[in-house]
Structure 1
Amino acid sequence: MSMHVLIKINVVSAMTLKPLWLRFAGTHKDNAPAATSNLLKKSSEVNGLNKDVQKLLWKNKMRFTKADVVVKSLGLAGPNWKVKKLVDKEEDEVGLDGSHAADKTDCKKVVDDSVDCSECPSTFPAAVNAEEACETDELRPLKKAKLVVDEKSSDEGEGATVLEKDNEKNSAETEPADNVLAEPDRSPKISNLKDATVLEKYNEKKSAETEPADDVHAEPDKSLKIHPREKMLIDFREKLYLAPLTTVGNLPFRRVCKTLGADVTCGEMAMCTNLLQGQASEWALLRRHSSEDLFGVQICGAYPDTIARTVELIEKECTVDFIDINMGCPIDIVVDKGAGSFLLTKPLRMKGIIQAASGTVDKPITVKVRTGYFGGKNRIDSLIADIGSWGATALTIHGRSRQQRYSKLADWDYIYQCAQKAPCTLQVLGNGDIFSYLDWNNRKTDCPELSTCMIARGALIKPWLFTEIKEQRHWDISSQERLNILKEYVRFGLEHWGSDKKGVETTRHFLLEWLSYACRYIPVGLLDVIPQRLNWRPPSYYGRDDLETLMASDSAADWIRISEMLLGKVPDGFTFAPKHKSNAYDRAENG
């Protein structure tokens, strides 16, 4: 493409979309948090991978001090690696279909035959070895708890470790009988992991009462691990959250959604193994634009040590507000590696991953899941109370199982059930089939416990959905207004991927991927029943003008014609087929 054509496109885009640009600029100026605004003002995009760090990752010489300490303290690495293998073996006995071998314990079975060890008896008959009978992952941290020491702290006198506190308690209990008149120990007795929190509060209160008065203003011991409740929290309530969208949820698309009213954005799902190998293409998924004032990244991994190292690396190298762990991805290549929705069959591994991530970084850790692995075998309701105690600050529930993919409507009744069971410290977000402001209103009205609703495919088909929700109206958007949004996307794409030949074709490729969804939109003025539903298969129709008819086509040849209106002629021999597979695109041929 010649340079004068590109200049002409950019000039037309700027003239046509001046109001949107002014709206975007105002959003950036007014809404960016003070904590990150200075960093984001230095460049329009941040979170690039440092070349020196990339070389260390390539050579496998990067050190992950915090992550390794936390994982080891949880008994998931080093000499305790066998424990992890045994846990996986126990879970494999449960099986994906929910069948379970005969238990040797008195643990109570809950939904989907997962074991609720919080209700295990605290005492066992003498004939039973209690440690072998019910030494679940809930009890091991109490025995193997260690202080997570900050890598910068080297003074031996800073703070007593948990192990030292346990030794002091044991020595006090084994003192001679002449101490019977001493004040009795009123500390609560531990019967399960939940009681550990009570013990921690008691120890803090007791130490505060016995400290000298001149130490009241002493600097706190920074070597002590921060309590999860003291971490920075993000209030998702009533915020419009654009879901992390594979392939189409790139930075230019997120910028478009920000101009149209999105409050929270999240990068595309990145695989932890690829990030730890320093793959530039995977790190590109973490890029953040200055307009994204509340931004998170989503990662996906199969094991606690991999996740812990990844979050430590992200906290060091990136500017993000939260880190989301994907435990719901249904894609076969992800599930086959033991990640994504496969983790729904491994609750103890889920626990290890969340604990390792939250214990390694101070950033809020959020989790995204589906209702279960198989349809009809939901299990999140039995885990949601534990997910909050493991260290997650928010949980997004997609109302479908992995087996269902998108073949059925989202089960919002089950999402409501989970939200009502969640502890007050865990924010619950619903996800599935939000396609109008009425859908949004109904979900929030039916279940006030929901913090907000995540918007995914609805934003792909009509990104102005965020505007509709905020303005509480059905926007009968014209074909020219829709074309202006596409022009804005092209401008953002050329800024992000470059305006050379490669950048133009990359922008075209992702524009075509987006158009393969956008063609599903049916204009409000042509509907007999309002609003349009997400599961409706769009009929063939003639629009109110030729451009609207062209945008409604499900043929890839017509999508290419639209791209040529914005980016010029395609190269010789160019073809396109959408990356996603859907029955709605059987006729997506190239002419």
Structure 2
Amino acid sequence: MSRYNYSLPFDFQSSSNRLVFLAPMEGVTNVYFRSLCKSFGADMVYTEFISADALIRHVDKIQGKLKIINSEHPIAVQIYGQDKDTMVEAARICEEMQPDFLDLNFGCPVKKIVRRNAGAGMLRVPKKMIEITQQVVHSVNIPITVKTRLGWDENSKIIVDLAERLQDTGIALLTIHGRTGSQMYSGKADWNLIGAVKNNPRMYIPICGNGDIVSPQQCEQAFNRYGVDAVMIGRASIGAPWIFQEVKYYLKYNDLAPKKSFEYYLSVLKQQILQSVSQLGERQGILNSRRHIVASPLFKKMSNFKLTKIAMLQAITVSSLFEIMDNISNWAKSEFGTNC
């Protein structure tokens, strides 16, 4: 195991302890969404990614991303940047918030991040990635984790070697998204290379796999076929925080969880809206949450949802948005009956 003196909140050595994490997502994984996913069984949650440069300048908006509440633990704060000294200073600021982990983002493929050689751009300069990681590990007293990708492009899938080098810096866990940086979110995630890292006999730290996990069955396959210690779910949780409950049920019973009523799932989405409003005020809370709500798989069966979606995206008060959602509920009852 790691030569560094820290304790982890999970027993990664237990083969029965199959852990499911909520992925860090900008504009999504704020404190109220993380808390909701936690209530449905997410084993660990991550903050939105935080700019190290903005953090050390004490930008108010960035400071707000550091807010953690007790019910969220275990939680990881995630930072990104391209300068070693800045990342170290930002790591020390994050440490004061007492997260369970500090995660270094070397995987974000957004162009404005990559242009600065931050996020996935670091995959073009792996030596610098290693130097930053090593410096951060030695500068704080909490476990450091890394989230990255297979490599920068199809011709530089360096993850198997890179994983060993990252492990040597003293990190506690490595999360691998099964795409290259230049791929962004196109194509399919390559879990074979994630499995190659996990099954490398020289690797001893836990490996978390990420990419294209949208169902309980896919999650179980990731554990059984590739041997990962944890699976990270991202986009499939947007508008469906209950996916963690469904995944946990399947992993335990090898069967799909009993479906609940349409009204129940709608009430969860309403809860998310109300939590957003309580944190940000009505207007900003609605603006922040409504785009996630309309993406919910709950509405996939709804014919002509386009007009309803537009109306939801134009709502600026809780009452107007809830009225639209109640009309959807009435539609569902007429279409599927009271047990919808």
Deviation at 1:437, TM superposition (A): 1.2
Match of 2:196 among 417, 420, 433: 417
Q: Does 1:454 align with 2:207?
A: no
Counterparts of 1:199-278 in structure 2, within 5 Å, are 228-235=3-10, 237=12, 238-278=18-58
Query: AA paired with 1:362?
Result: N
- Counterparts of 1:114-133 in structure 2 under 5 Å? none
Match of 2:119 in 1: 340
Report whether the alignment pairs 1:496 with 2:279. yes
The one-letter code matched in structure 1 to 2:51 is: M
Whether 1:482 aligns to 2:257 is no
Tell me the SS of whatever aligns to 1:517: coil
| Deviation at residue 514 of structure 1 after TM alignment | 0.7
Structure 1 CA distance, aligned partners of 2:11 and 2:311?
Answer: 39
Pairing 1:372–2:155 present: no
Question: What is the number of residues matched between the two proteins?
Answer: 310
Q: Is the CA contact 2:25–2:49 (under 8 Å) kept in the aligned structure 1? A: yes
Question: What percent of counterpart residues are identical?
Answer: 27
CA drift at 1:232: 2.5
- 2:238 match: secondary structure: helix
Tell me the CA shift for residue 419 of structure 1. 1.2
Report the secondary structure of 1:267's partner residue: strand
Provide the rounded CA distance (Å) in 1 between the counterparts of 2:212 and 2:260: 21
Q: Does structure 2 retain, via aligned residues, the 8 Å contact 1:242–1:455?
A: yes
The aligned residue for residue 132 of structure 2 is 353
Retained in 1: the 8 A contact 2:9–2:74?
A: no
- Which residue number in structure 1 is paired with residue 292 of structure 2? 514
CA RMSD of aligned residues (A): 2.2
Alignment check: 8 A CA contact 2:164 2:203 kept = no
Distance 1:228 1:517, change over 3 A: farther
* Structure 2 residue corresponding to 1:467, chosen from 231, 242, 245: 245
Mapped partners of 1:432, 1:354: distance in 2? 23
Provide the rounded CA distance (Å) in 2 between the counterparts of 1:264 and 1:555.
34
User: Which letter does structure 2 place at the counterpart of 1:509?
Assistant: L
- 1:401 corresponds to which residue? 180
Cα shift readout 1:504-547 (whole Å, capped 9, x = no counterpart): 011101112212432xx267xxxxxxxxxxxxxx6xx5x4xxxx
In structure 2, the CA distance between the partners of 1:413 and 1:253, relative to structure 1 (3 Å rule), is same
Judged with a 3 Å threshold, the aligned counterparts in structure 2 of structure 1 residues 469 and 403 are, in CA distance, closer, same or farther, namely same
1:560 aligns with 2:335: no
* Displacement of 1:554: 7.8
Please list the CA deviations of residues 66-121 of structure 1 after superposition, one character each: whole Å capped at 9, or x if unmatched: xxxxxxxxxxxxxxxxxxxxxxxxxxxxxxxxxxxxxxxxxxxxxxxxxxxxxxxx
In 2, the alpha carbon distance for the partners of 1:280 and 1:496 equals 15
Give how far 1:569 is off: 4.1
CA distance in 2, matches of 1:457, 1:554: 23
Within 2, Cα distance between the matches of 1:388 and 1:554? 50
Q: Distance in 1 between matches of 2:125 and 2:210?
A: 22
Q: Is residue 261–residue 466 contact of structure 1 (8 Å, CA) maintained in 2?
A: yes
Aligned-partner SS, 2:78: strand
* Alpha-carbon distance in 1 for matches of 2:97, 2:40: 26
Check 1:410–1:555 CA distance in 2 against 1; reply closer, same or farther (3 A cut): farther
Residues in 2 aligned to 1:332 and 1:474: alpha-carbon distance in whole angstroms:
39
Whose strand fraction is larger, Structure 1's or Structure 2's? Answer: 2
1:490: how far off?
2.2
Q: CA deviation at 1:340?
A: 0.5
CA–CA separation in structure 2 for the residues paired with 1:423 and 1:304: 27
Per the TM alignment, residue 348 of structure 1 is displaced from its structure 2 partner at its CA by 1.2
Report the 3-state secondary structure (helix = DSSP H, G, I; strand = E; otherwise coil) of the residue aligned with 2:295: helix
What amino acid does structure 1 have at the position aligned with 2:6?
K
Q: Following the alignment from structure 1 to structure 2, what is the Cα–Cα distance between the partners of residues 328 and 412?
A: 16
Distance in 2, matches of 1:437 and 1:569, equals: 34
Q: 1:378 to 1:234 in 2, by over 3 A?
A: farther
The question of whether the paired residues in 2 share the 8 Å contact of 1:375 and 1:402 is answered with: no
> Kindly tell me: are residues 420 and 479 of structure 1, through their superposed partners in 2, closer, same or farther at Cα, counting changes over 3 Å?
same
- Tell me the TM-score normalised to structure 2 length: 0.85
C-alpha displacement of 1:234? 4.0
| In structure 1, distance between residues paired with 2:238 and 2:307 | 15
Query: Secondary structure at 2:48's aligned position in 1?
Result: strand
**Which protein is bigger by CA-based radius of gyration?**
1
Q: Give me the whole-angstrom Cα distance separating, in 1, the residues matched to 2:4 and 2:268.
A: 41
Gaps of 5+ in 1: 1-226, 498-502, 524-537, 544-548, 571-591
Secondary structure of 1:443's counterpart equals helix
Change (3 A) 1:377 1:356: same
Shift in Å at residue 492 of structure 1? 1.5
| C-alpha distance in structure 2 between counterparts of 1:487 and 1:559, whole Å | 13
Question: How many angstroms apart in 1 are the aligned matches of 2:50 and 2:5?
Answer: 28
For 2:258 and 2:74, locate their aligned partners in 1 and report how far apart those are by CA, in whole Å. 26
Gaps of 5+ in 2: 13-17, 251-255, 322-340
